[in-house]
Amino acid sequence: MHNHRVSGGRFLAVTILNVAITIVEIIGGLLSGSLALLSDAFHNLGDSFSIVLGYFAQSIAGRPENHRRTYGYRRMEILAAMLNAL
C-alpha cells in the first residue's frame, strides 16, 4: 500500500492555479463570446472543487484509528471519490 501524503501547501498552490485559470477563461469567454472557453472554465471550476474535496478527505483520512473507529477514517477518501463521481 502506498501512502503518499501531499502537503497542504501543494494543494493550495494547485487550487490557486486552477482557480486563476478558471477566472482567465471566464473573462476571455465573456469578452470574446466563446462558449467553448466558458464551458471549459466551468469544467475547471469543477476540478477546483474536486481538489478541495480531496484535500479535506485526505486530512480527515489521516486521523488515527480509535476504539470506535478501528479502521480509522480512511473511508473518507472513498466517500469523497464517490461524491466527486456524482
How many domains is the chain partitioned into structurally?
1
Task: Report yes or no on 26 lying in a domain.
Answer: yes
pTM equals 0.72
Task: Report yes or no on 72 lying in a domain.
Answer: yes
Structural domain boundaries, residue 35: 8-85
Query: So what's the pLDDT on residue 2?
Result: 52
pLDDT beneath 50, residues of the chain: none
Task: Report yes or no on 3 lying in a domain.
Answer: no
Query: So what's the pLDDT on residue 64?
Result: 81
Question: Residue by residue, what is the 3-state secondary structure of the chain?
Answer: CCCCCCCHHHHHHHHHHHHHHHHHHHHHHHHHCCHHHHHHHHHHHHHHHHHHHHHHHHHHHCCCCCCCCCCCCCHHHHHHHHHHHC
Task: Report yes or no on 81 lying in a domain.
Answer: yes
Query: So what's the pLDDT on residue 4?
Result: 57
